[in-house]
Structure 1
Amino acid sequence: MTGRTAATATPTATPGDVAARATAGFRQRYGVQPAGRWAAPGRVNLIGEHTDYNDGFVLPFALPLRTVVAAAPRDDERWTVWSELSSDPVEFGPAEVDEPGRVTGWAAYVAGVVWSLRAAGQAVPGARLAVASDVPVGSGLSSSAAVEAAVLAALVELGGLDLPTDRWPRLAQRAENGYVGAPTGIMDQSAVIRGRAGHALFLDCRSEEVEQIPFDLDSAGLAVLVVDSRAPHRHADGEYAARRASCEEAARILGVPALRDVTVAELDAALGKLPDGETRRRVRHVVTENQRVLDAVELLRAGRVRDTGPLLTASHASMRDDFEITVPEVDTAVDAALAAGAYGARMTGGGFGGCVLALVDADRAPAVADAVTTAYAERGFAAPGTLTVLPADGAARLG
């Protein structure tokens, strides 16, 4: 995990530089070569925000930006992890692992994975690990899920654990929920583990069934421009938890297991049963956002990539007006991208800062990025980071 973000860059699909940094860090810290290196990507969510914990639908894809873990087993039941975020390694054993919250800071994500595996009855091997990353922290690109997935992949292989990949997302999510204490849904971990180049991952967050949806931007002459708003996250954790609680209470009032069970056709009747305008707005966002995901999937199945643009923009308006999770920086980025010719644009991630994505013609990406940068300067905002991306593969061992 690192705060490094390209200012205007097109990352490649190979995490060679990151892998070299992880390997060098491992050698410098432990004095030996690692047994292997495992990588996991960041992710952006094309559409489907705050639907995951409502048992709904999401459509993320994996990024070419990667977190790499270099690792080797050790003989005792202890774990030592070093990150380029910190000069000092963190070491912990079963006593610290088995008490959620005992390990804090960035190392909690590593301890959480060990805790989750042990709670699932797995014999987790002791290990030395070194972490390097090009997934920027705090920008809504799932840097934490990338760490969890890369560590999980390393420990599964080092320990010869019998764990099929389709079980990994839930284990990684439990690490973040149960050990770190972050109330995330299953989307981030699913995307970084099960992503595939040239595809978006259509995930049913209730059944955890996935479908790889063709999202071949390159052949269509398109790209996704990602804008790191550089906006400080304003009360993000508390506001995220408040919205989740509001959705769960609304589902209870409506007598459904989750808001996913309310359809667009039933929306007006459902809204009439809710006690206040704020709750009605929250529900309207979730119900309409689920439908936008389903509509986007149908368009992509038909090869109509450009036609998904208006759905992205409608999603942003819903997050801004109904779920109320945007900030001026992300609204400015969306407006500027659309004015510069993007087919659609929206905030991606939990909100209150983070990133914006815009669907653009590949050859127009620099001009759209410049337009966003100019709009930021006119508003007196700190300059954004921008990069263009194509869908990449999920977690894997590096050769």
Structure 2
Amino acid sequence: MVRQSSDTLASCLSASSIASAPLKTILCGEHAVVYGYPALVTAIDLRVRVLSEPLPVGIIEVLSEGFGSWREYALNVAKLVEKRRLKHPLQYPIVAVYLTSRYIGEEPGSRVVVKSPAPDGSGLGTSAAVAAACICATAIRYGFNLTPPMIANLVQLCERFVHETPSGIDGTAVTYGGTFVYKRDEGPEFIDAKPLRLVVAFTGIKHRTADLVRRVRRLRAKNREYVDTIMAAIGEIAQEAARAAVQGDLSLLGEQLHANHLLLRQLGVSSKELDRLVETALNAGSYGAKLTGAGGGGCIIALVDEDVQYRVLASLQNVSASTWLVVTNAQGVHREDISEQ
């Protein structure tokens, strides 16, 4: 952790700061990663932006489009955090501001304004991106430059207050960016993947990852051999997809995406809404499409190139709640120039 000079610090304490963090998508490997198989993950150029401003010591305030605002005394936040009783739509930025302030040894006194392109529960790592951007912006305003491992650890700590046992995928993606293969207990292996164009389409249905993980666990308890065979196949797909991403082989990668989706359907985590979006994308010329994230709702991703991207985008806009055309390999969390905002 590097602290700025006293002169710079004095100006930082009275000034505002802005940081942004990317959303992420799992290209292949959902659910199988819980059981030790690899997942292929990438950061995308949809970014959460957070403005941090000073408030009197002891006050934390969060403003967010779509979720309103919350103003609370830091002492009360501390009690709720310690007892894990902070249940609020704005819990991630609240916890992030509080934990960051305590980590760097400053008394909390901050207002953060959060702007996110996608809602929580969409399967794109929104919560982790909000936490990372809040951590970075808060630390910078106090005059601290946190290293990526410090930010990742704080994001993981924030997620534990909500998910209890987060995988670490989201925190890695939003902090470091890029594309990587992730295995539980081994962490990320970053790969030199070519930037990909994806159309992301949101069903409009939010999901809770923990609920879907429990659903798969119950299925595995009833038919372990069946589920383990699917998991192993998904793990092989993730590895093959990683090789295709490095080579820039869109045809092969698209095949792996669709194959992964079909296996996730067998696990019971897809839905008629997700399947409809996947079918729409394929019919419009996508190389391959699948649900991304835990399933049960959330988003799909469709692999495209410049020739078909707008046709696929337009087709999905007709049948989805929200759509985005994105590029992978996005940069991780970082400070932004406030003069450009």
Shorter-chain TM-score: what band? 0.7 to 0.9
CA contact (8 A) 2:43 2:177 kept: yes
Q: Give 1:209's aligned residue.
A: 188
Matches within 5 A, 1:294-373: 294-321=239-266, 323-372=267-316
1:156 equivalenced with 2:93 (yes/no): no
Counterpart CA distance in 2 for 1:210 and 1:123 is 33
Distance 1:36 1:148, change over 3 A: same
The aligned runs of 1:167-316 (5 Å cut-off) are 167-177=150-160, 179-181=161-163, 183-196=165-178, 200-217=179-196, 223-230=197-204, 232-233=205-206, 236=208, 239-243=211-215, 245-246=217-218, 276-277=222-223, 279-316=224-261
Relative to the length of structure 2, the TM-score reads: 0.82
Match of residue 57 from structure 2: 76
Deviation at 1:75, TM superposition (A): 5.7
TM-superposed deviation, 1:246: 4.8
Worse overlay, 54-63 or 343-352: 54-63
In the alignment, the residues of structure 2 paired with residue 371 and residue 89 of structure 1 have an alpha-carbon distance, to the nearest angstrom, of 38
Q: Is the 8 A contact 1:101 1:181 kept in 2?
A: no
Residue number in structure 1 paired with 2:28? 47
Counterpart residue number, 2:335: 397
Between the aligned partners of 1:54 and 1:116, the Cα distance in structure 2 is: 30
Q: What TM-score does the superposition give when structure 1 sets the normalisation length?
A: 0.71
- Counterpart CA distance in 2 for 1:83 and 1:33 is 22
1:37-186 correspondence to structure 2 within 5 Å: 37-74=18-55, 76-97=57-78, 98-114=81-97, 116-117=99-100, 122-126=104-108, 127-161=110-144, 163-177=146-160, 179-181=161-163, 183-186=165-168
- Identify the structure with the greater strand proportion: 2
Provide the C-alpha distance between the structure 1 equivalents of 2:71 and 2:85, rounded to a whole number of angstroms.
Answer: 12
Contact (CA 8 Å) 2:31, 2:213: kept in 1 or not?
Answer: no
How far apart are the structure 1 equivalents of 2:45 and 2:111?
Answer: 26
Which of 306, 324, 328 lines up with 1:387 in the alignment?
Answer: 324
SS of the residue corresponding to residue 363 of structure 1 reads coil
Query: Partner amino acid for 2:296?
Result: F
Deviation track 1:359-398 (CA, whole Å, cap 9, x = no partner) reads 1222212222344456x4xxxxxx4422211122221100
Task: Return the alpha-carbon distance in structure 2 between the equivalents of residues 162 and 67 of structure 1.
Answer: 19
Change (3 A) 1:80 1:145: same
- Cα pair 1:34 1:70 within 8 Å, conserved: no
Whether the aligned pair in 2 keeps the contact of 1:52 and 1:58 (CA below 8 Å) is: yes
Cα 1:335–1:68 change in 2 (3 A) is: same
Local SS of the residue matching 2:211 = helix
- Structure-1 separation of matches of 2:35 and 2:243: 21
Between 1:38-47 and 1:359-368, the stretch displaced more is 359-368
State the identity %.
26
CA deviation map 1:82-131 (0-9, x unaligned): 22334443223144224243333122112332565578x55255222221
Cα displacement string for residues 222-266 of structure 1 (whole angstroms, at most 9, x for unaligned residues): x21111122x246x456324147559xx7xxxxxxxxxxxxxxxx
Q: Which runs of 5+ in 1 are unaligned?
A: 1-31, 218-222, 251-274, 377-382
How many Å apart are 1:151 and its aligned residue? 0.9
Mapped contact 2:22–2:332 kept (Cα < 8 A): yes
Deviations 1:13-37 (A, max 9, x none): xxxxxxxxxxxxxxxxxxx985211
Q: Which residue of 2 aligns with 1:14?
A: none
